Structure 1
Amino acid sequence: MLSSRKLVAILSNATYLFLAFVSVIFVALSCFALLAQAVRQSPTRTWKNNFNALVIGGSYAIVLVVSVFFCLKRRLEVRLRLSRISKNYTLLRRSDAPQAVHEYIAQEYMRACLVSHQSLPTEVFHPGWGRPGTKYEGVRLRRALLDTIPEIDILAHMVIPAHPTVKPHVRMLHHFRYLLPLLSTEDELTALHYYDSANTTGSQFCR
């Protein structure tokens, strides 16, 4: 389906061509009528030695040549002006526009900057992500927590060499059960409880 802009352009071009065609038809008819009248009013009623017919034909020929000349001149001027427009980005200076236009552009630019600044979120909190403005900004806490499991497993083998190797789909409380006596509890929860919760609420950790 054609857009409204293309439809308007097509209608505009069609109207222009129609009016130009009608104008040419009427001019040709008027020229033919005047020439016929000049022949009828001639003493000999012929084209021979008919000065009036010569003047009428010459006048229409001059009008045609002048019209074509002005059309070509206008088209050439428009093409030259468009060719002088820079295709690259150029900064508008104060002298490139009237003072009122420059002030209006500056005012609207400042208004847009103010609206953009006011629309920025100030207190944003997404569960599971670090708070903006802190060192954890943009950090997904669950993923960051699970990424430390291989390091903890290596340290666990340093403390307990016979510690089992971590396996997929294993609960952290069960895997690190031998480390529970070494961990401090806070509200009856150890750090392993948080690891276990992070590991069981989504995709399982696999070494």
Structure 2
Amino acid sequence: MIRLLYSYEDEGWFPAFVEGTTRPMYGSLTGEAHEDTMIHEFGYLGLPETYRIIIVTESGKVTVSDTFTRKVLQSSITYDYLSNQGTTPPLLTAYIVQFFSTCIPTLLIEFIVLLLFGFSVKNNYKVFLTVNITTQLIMTAILGATIIYKGSLYANIILFSVELFILLSESIIYSKLLKGYTGKERVYYGVVANLTSFIVGLFLLSKQYEMIVSLLSIRY
């Protein structure tokens, strides 16, 4: 059965887990049964991005799938042995979850700070919502993509740079567009609001990553 896993070696393919990779890789050839599904987990640095699924039975039957490309750091694929088809969870759902899990806490925190500073909600809610939703879309495009494709470690590394850019941008915009108080006080609001949401975001980042991974993994 192990020998048959090399059936497509002449086409340039090799069984990664059996053969071994230049970087560490772990997994399970036999898998674990879960109702009518077999679960196989493979991971770590040596996990190939482009791959095919090959299955060998005790009778010597060899089944190989089409070529798949792993698009995110942690993902899953459901392979139907009978139809020889594989499906993966949609990435759009992960982006939506990342956006709202960041945007909603940010809006709540910075709205509370707006009230504490004494700004008029009636006169400033349009600027407040427009600025925050726009910056959160930028945050999703940069930080969200990093979480999905690179993981929470890389996201933590770039988080400070992204937040600094947003802090400076929002503070400048608020100094020009917020109504009430002086320009300096509007800048102070932008700095305090963004620092507060940044501190909270540090604690939420790992939870966001867990939610995204669960969405991109097999669910029962």
* More helix, by proportion: 1
Note whether the superposition's TM-score is higher than 0.5.
no
The structure that has the greater radius of gyration is 1
Task: Give the TM-score taking structure 1 as reference length.
Answer: 0.24
Answer 1 or 2: higher relative contact order, Cα 8 Å, separation at least 6. Answer: 2
* More strand, by proportion: 2
